[in-house]
């Protein structure tokens, strides 16, 4: 069959909904999170990587760093950019492609049918450890995917489409520093989808390819790029960003905290632009976009606390409960963080026999102020649940993620829950 004998002259492509997460085997701890569970300066290393990601995006946006065109081990076109610290560590942001073994059918929510012929991967890596992976499938109008794969080399038509995806990523980079809320991330994703459009690019033999972006195809990439800036939105006089990771097989439910001389300025919400708290952090799950690579997603909740007085530090406590698929409680826990002025930060964690009343939680927190000034503390319950609490530093001013040349009394912490047996 001669391709010229067909009536097909233009192939319409689209980017389909993405899958986002940390690529790892089910039941294992992602390499990106392992520093949090190590003794010593693990938390400091982890949050330094988060800040370094913000530096990379800032330098890409300002033109200090350029995107470099290259090919991967299979000869597929790709783009990458990288930044290195003074100790030889490197952070990479890469956009690569992979071809599906055969086109696969997919029906979009609007009823349009596509043949999925491959996917794009946006990955953020620290040395050899992938910190985040976004997988975006590529679809061709139904009935044309096999035809395209049969008569055209993958590299001939993927290059203009890849450049379109790169335009979307560049749009996200330029918008990242303005993102201080989930609504801002959603707006950046929408702008990236518009920027990624490809119109009538020649792919050889008189045929062309055009590409549009479907809703939410850049949502994962937007979160990847904007998250370090969201977490740096708090600055003076005293602030703390907190990441809660649920690595257990149970649903985690958090409660409104007890706060002392501070307010909770960021927390998980039910939807973009909403101010209604989402009190659950789901168990890990494996998601597979149509025709794409499966990604294990470890869910997290991002919180921030800021002082309400220039003369005092901040303190807060929060409770968590874990329930299985039958809604049976598998464990309850309480945590406390105290960041006073002129004294070292402290923390505490305890597995409780049940929910504490508001007065009991406050009394428990105040009893533990200043007792344990450590950058890491871990404790387990009788069912094998383990919580690890961390600080990136215990005192002094720290570089601001939004501007590493400036310093402030801003600290970062992580709370990691896992099941060891």
3-43 pLDDT, tens digit per residue, is 444 555 788 899 988 877 776 766 677 777 888 887 667 88
What pLDDT score was predicted for residue 370? 95
> From the DSSP assignment, how many helices (H) and strands (E) are in the chain?
6, 24
pTM: 0.76
The beta strands (E) that lie in 127-217 are given as 129-141, 198-204, 207-213
Percentage of the chain modeled with pLDDT above 90:
36
- Tell me the average pLDDT across 400-419: 80
**β-strand pairing of 207-213 with 10-15:** parallel
Query: In angstroms, rounded to a whole number, what is the distance separating the alpha carbons of residues 70 and 419?
Result: 41
Rounded to 10 degrees, what is the CA torsion of 250, 251, 253, 254? 70
Q: What is the pLDDT of residues 314-332, one digit of tens each?
A: 999 999 999 999 999 999 9
Percentage of the chain modeled with pLDDT above 70:
90
What pLDDT score was predicted for residue 359? 97
Position 273 confidence tier, pLDDT thresholds 50, 70, 90: low
Query: In angstroms, rounded to a whole number, what is the distance separating the alpha carbons of residues 133 and 204?
Result: 32
Both tokens of residue 410? 């801003």
Residues pairing with 53 in the sheet: none
**Which 3-state string (H, E, C) describes 78-146?**
EEEEEEECCCCCEEEEEEEEEEEEEEEEEECCCCCEEEEEEEEEEEEEECCEEEEEEEEEEEEECCCHH
Tally of CB atoms within 10 A around 266: 20
Query: In angstroms, rounded to a whole number, what is the distance separating the alpha carbons of residues 94 and 228?
Result: 17
Rounded to 10 degrees, what is the CA torsion of 212, 81, 219, 191? -60
Helix extents (H) in 294-350: none
- Tell me the average pLDDT across 370-376: 95
Q: What is the pLDDT of residues 275-310, one digit of tens each?
A: 889 999 999 887 776 666 677 778 888 898 988 887
What pLDDT score was predicted for residue 135? 86
End-to-end CA distance of the chain: 60
Instruction: Identify the residue whose tokens are 């950046």.
Output: 188
**Which 3-state string (H, E, C) describes 286-305?**
EECCCCCCCEEECCEEEEEE
**CA angle centred on 214, ends 208 and 215, rounded to 5°:** 165
Position 348 confidence tier, pLDDT thresholds 50, 70, 90: very high
Both tokens of residue 169? 């990523």
- Tell me the average pLDDT across 104-132: 84
Contact predicate 182/269, CB 8 Å? yes
Instruction: Report the mean per-residue pLDDT for the chain.
Output: 85
Q: What is the pLDDT of residues 56-103, one digit of tens each?
A: 888 888 888 899 999 888 888 899 999 888 778 888 899 999 888 778
Position 195 confidence tier, pLDDT thresholds 50, 70, 90: very high
- Please determine, for residue 235, whether its predicted confidence score (pLDDT) is greater than 60: no
- Tell me the average pLDDT across 191-199: 92
- Please determine, for residue 374, whether its predicted confidence score (pLDDT) is greater than 90: yes
Count the residues in the chain: 421
What pLDDT score was predicted for residue 91? 87
Query: Residue 388 — φ and ψ, nearest 5°?
Result: -120, 125
């Amino acid at each position: 069959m001669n391709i010229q004998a067909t009536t097909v002259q233009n192939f319409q492509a689209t980017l389909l909904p993405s899958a986002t997460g940390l690529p790892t085997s089910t039941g294992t701890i992602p390499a990106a999170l392992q520093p949090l569970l190590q003794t010593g300066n693990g938390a400091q290393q982890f949050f330094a990587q988060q800040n370094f990601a913000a530096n990379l995006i800032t330098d890409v946006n300002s033109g200090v760093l350029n995107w470099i065109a290259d090919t991967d081990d299979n000869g597929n076109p790709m783009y990458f950019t990288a930044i290195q610290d003074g100790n030889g560590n490197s952070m990479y942001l890469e956009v690569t492609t992979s071809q599906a073994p055969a086109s696969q059918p997919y029906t979009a929510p609007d009823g349009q049918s596509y043949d999925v012929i491959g996917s794009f991967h946006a990955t953020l890596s620290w040395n050899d450890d992938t910190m985040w992976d976004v997988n975006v499938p590529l679809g061709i109008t139904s009935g044309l995917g096999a035809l395209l794969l049969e008569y055209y080399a993958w590299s001939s038509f993927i290059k203009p489409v890849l450049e379109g995806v790169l335009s979307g990523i560049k749009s996200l980079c330029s918008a990242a520093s303005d993102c201080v809320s989930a609504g801002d991330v959603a707006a950046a994703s929408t702008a990236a989808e518009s920027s990624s459009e490809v119109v009538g690019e020649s792919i050889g033999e008189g045929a062309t390819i055009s590409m549009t972006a479907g809703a939410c195809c850049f949502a994962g990439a937007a979160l990847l790029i904007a998250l370090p800036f969201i977490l740096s939105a708090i600055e003076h006089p005293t602030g703390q960003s907190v990441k809660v990771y649920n690595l257990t097989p149970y649903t985690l439910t958090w409660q409104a905290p007890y706060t002392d001389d501070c307010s909770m300025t960021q927390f998980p919400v039910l939807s973009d632009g909403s101010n209604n708290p989402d009190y659950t952090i789901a168990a890990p799950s494996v998601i597979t976009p149509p025709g794409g690579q499966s990604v294990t997603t470890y869910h997290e909740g991002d919180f921030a606390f800021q002082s309400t007085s220039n003369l005092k530090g901040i303190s807060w406590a929060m409770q968590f409960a874990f329930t299985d698929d039958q809604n049976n409680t598998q464990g309850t826990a309480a945590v406390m963080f105290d960041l006073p002025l002129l004294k070292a930060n402290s923390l505490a964690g305890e597995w409780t026999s049940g929910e504490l009343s508001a007065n009991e939680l406050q009394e428990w927190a105040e009893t533990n102020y200043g007792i344990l000034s450590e950058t890491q503390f871990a404790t387990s319950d009788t069912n094998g649940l383990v919580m690890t609490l961390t600080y990136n530093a215990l005192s002094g001013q720290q570089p601001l993620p939004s501007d590493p040349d400036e310093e402030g009394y801003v600290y970062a912490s992580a709370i990691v829950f896992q099941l060891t047996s």
